[in-house]
């Protein structure tokens, strides 16, 4: 393949409101020690009740477009990964298209839950490789706070809100996305659910407030799956490209639990230092967590042009996937 697709610009945006573990102690039967030890989370950002998720998505998108050195008018396609859209219709991608003035762009949402950003950049890559589009904006835009039962301690301590975005386009051959892999197993899908237009009796029974369309998760099942699937996906993209873990500077996993990251490190036999974590300050921001981490890595100059990184996602669906990237931007 003589054409390569890479990230040309990246940006993110978080709500200002901080919700700490100590705040949660006043809301449900939990405590800072449990949350910190079992998840690694200290605090998370939460949107105000009246603020839609797309607002942070728009800011992240604008920052990514600026950092790519292009304008919204140049964007050919907007893909938003979200499992918490403000509306079922219009898509969040169409709302962001309107708000940033990307008048030429086609727009649609992708829902692969926490793996959404990996799915999004993989879809974007295909459109660019085919020659159909030049610039594709991928935004991970999430407001988990809006689908949480704030009286359910099993879930309310885990999640946060925010958005991260990337502009993808053609890059120097041999740089950018070297290998990408996405997968799913719908037969395990009932282990994490957020009801949409329909709820089954089983969905109703699982929830504390039966008729509330809130997130429910079998935490320990998802935990085991996450470690297994993430390690497999990272190994697969490396094997498929013919690269070893020693060639990789950083692994950027979906931020769900620090113990999942430790499990991935152990399974892959790599130092935990190689696994990038921002979970302590933002919690699990679903499909926004990878671009949020990537934006921080770029802003803090933790990678340079030519470094190999792997982003790896896992979550509802169940879905998982990984992308091996040779960083193509001079930072």
Which entry of 21, 111, 284, 328 is annotated as an active-site residue? 284
Choose the stretch contacting ligand UT7; rule: CB under 6 A; options: 66-74, 97-105, 126-134, 214-222.
Answer: 214-222
Which x/- pattern over 52-91 shows residues binding ligand UT7 (rule: CB under 6 A)?
Answer: ----------------------------------------
Contact between 144 and ligand UT7 (CB under 6 A)?
no
Catalytic residue list contains 156: no
Least distance to ligand UT7 from the beta carbon of 30, Å?
Answer: 3
Which entry of 13, 21, 111, 114 is annotated as an active-site residue? 114
Task: For residue 309, count CB atoms less than 10 angstroms from its CB and return exposed for 0-12, middle for 13-18, buried for 19 or more.
Answer: buried
Catalytic residue list contains 198: no
Contact between 322 and ligand UT7 (CB under 6 A)?
no
Least distance to ligand UT7 from the beta carbon of 284, Å?
Answer: 5
CA dihedral 77, 66, 118, 330 (to 10 degrees): 130
Nearer to ligand UT7, 100 or 114 (CB): 114
Rounded CA-CA distance 230/250 in Å is 14
Nearer to ligand UT7, 34 or 175 (CB): 34
Q: What are the angstrom distances between the C-alpha of 10 and each of 18, 42, 68, 139, 320?
A: 23, 26, 7, 10, 22
Task: For residue 324, count CB atoms less than 10 angstroms from its CB and return exposed for 0-12, middle for 13-18, buried for 19 or more.
Answer: buried
Least distance to ligand UT7 from the beta carbon of 299, Å?
Answer: 24
Rounded CA-CA distance 208/101 in Å is 42
Which x/- pattern over 26-45 shows residues binding ligand UT7 (rule: CB under 6 A)?
Answer: ----x---xx--xx------
Contact between 189 and ligand UT7 (CB under 6 A)?
no
Q: Which of 260, 279, 303, 325 binds ligand UT7 (CB under 6 A)?
A: 260
Q: Which of 222, 252, 293, 324 binds ligand UT7 (CB under 6 A)?
A: 222
Contact between 228 and ligand UT7 (CB under 6 A)?
no
Catalytic residue list contains 284: yes
> Residue 130 is encoded by which pair of tokens?
């085919």
| Consecutive H or E run containing 19 | strand 18-20
Which entry of 21, 141, 254, 257 is annotated as an active-site residue? 254
Q: How far is CA 35 from the centre of its chain?
A: 21
Rounded CA-CA distance 52/36 in Å is 28
Provide the pairing of β-strand 308-315 with 319-326.
antiparallel
Rounded CA-CA distance 56/169 in Å is 23
Nearest residue to the partner ligand UT7, using Cβ: 219
Contact between 285 and ligand UT7 (CB under 6 A)?
no
| Consecutive H or E run containing 313 | strand 308-315
Contact between 329 and ligand UT7 (CB under 6 A)?
no
User: How many residues are there in the chain?
Assistant: 331
Q: Which residues are catalytic?
A: 114, 254, 284
Which residues form the interface with ligand UT7 (CB under 6 A)?
A: 30, 34-35, 38-39, 114, 153-154, 157, 219-220, 222-223, 226, 256-257, 260, 284, 315
């Amino acid at each position: 393949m003589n054409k390569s697709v890479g990230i040309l610009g990246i940006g993110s945006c978080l709500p200002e409101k901080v919700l700490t573990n100590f705040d949660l102690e006043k809301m449900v039967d939990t405590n800072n020690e449990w949350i910190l030890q079992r998840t690694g989370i200290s605090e998370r950002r939460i949107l105000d009740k009246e603020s839609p998720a797309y607002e942070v998505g728009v800011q992240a998108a604008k920052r990514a477009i600026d950092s790519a050195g292009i304008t919204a008018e140049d964007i050919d396609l907007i893909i938003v990964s979200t499992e918490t859209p403000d509306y079922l219709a219009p898509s969040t991608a169409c709302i962001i298209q309107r708000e940033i003035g990307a008048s030429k762009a086609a727009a649609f949402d992708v829902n692969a839950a926490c793996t959404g950003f990996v799915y999004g950049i993989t879809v974007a890559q295909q459109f660019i490789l085919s020659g159909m589009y030049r610039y594709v904006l991928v935004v991970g835009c999430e407001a988990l706070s809006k689908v949480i039962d704030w009286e359910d301690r099993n879930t309310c301590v885990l999640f946060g809100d925010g958005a991260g975005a990337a502009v993808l386009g053609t890059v120097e051959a041999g740089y950018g996305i070297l290998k990408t892999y996405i997968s799913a197993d719908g037969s395990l899908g009932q282990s994490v659910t957020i009801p949409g237009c329909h709820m089954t009796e089983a969905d109703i029974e699982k929830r504390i407030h039966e008729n509330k369309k809130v997130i429910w998760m079998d935490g320990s099942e998802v935990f085991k799956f996450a470690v297994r699937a993430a390690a497999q996906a990272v190994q697969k993209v490396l094997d498929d490209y013919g690269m070893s873990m020693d060639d990789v500077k950083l692994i950027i996993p979906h931020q769900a639990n620090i113990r999942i990251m430790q499990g991935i490190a152990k399974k892959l036999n790599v130092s935990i230092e190689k696994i990038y974590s921002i979970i302590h300050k933002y919690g699990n921001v679903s499909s926004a967590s990878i671009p949020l981490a990537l934006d921080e890595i770029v802003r803090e100059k933790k990678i340079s042009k030519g470094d190999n990184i792997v982003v790896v996602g896992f979550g509802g669906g169940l879905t998982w996937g990984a992308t091996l990237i040779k960083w193509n931007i001079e930072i």
